[in-house]
Amino acid sequence: MGARTKARKRALDMLFIADVRQSVLDEILREEGERAAAQPQRSSSWPYAHDIVRGVADNAGAIDRLIESHAVGWSLARMPAVDRAILRVAVWELVHNPDVPAAVAIDEAVEFATVLSTDESSGFVNGVLGAIADDLHRSAP
């Protein structure tokens, strides 16, 4: 597993934990930062995981609105918590990290959904992210 994939998984874990515990993301980031400092083998994935979680936290409203507007018939509250976390990571990458190609962000998210969520989640995640990527591509200058 590459460093960015590990970072995405760590970010996904932090977002999931914050969602399930109803915790503040800053608290989760602090805990993970301490863990990263104490475990050097985890340090390589920490900076990008931190960037993702901080970016999701800073843009949460816009990210969630984008997800809900493309998840036809599904509110965020109705989605499994792991799917919300997966979508939030991928949408942050699609919108806020031009260094990550859309196909990579979507493929990684679909793979996480395949491994971590329901049988239907990978198709759902793919559809939502594909629609968001198409809209972003059409609106790009």
91, 58 Cβ separation under 8 angstroms: no
pTM as predicted: 0.94
Mean pLDDT score, 56-70: 97
- pLDDT of 52 above 90: yes
Which of the four pLDDT bands, split at 50, 70 and 90, describes residue 40?
confident
Query: Which pLDDT tens digit goes with each residue over 21-39?
Result: 998 889 999 988 888 888 8
Q: Which two tokens stand for residue 2?
A: 């590459």
Domains identified in the chain, total number: 1
Q: What is the DSSP letter of 40?
A: G
- pLDDT of 108 above 90: yes
- Distance (Å, whole) CA 8 – CA 90: 9
CATH of the domain at 68: 1.10.940.10
Domain that holds residue 37: 3-139
What mean pLDDT value characterizes the chain? 93
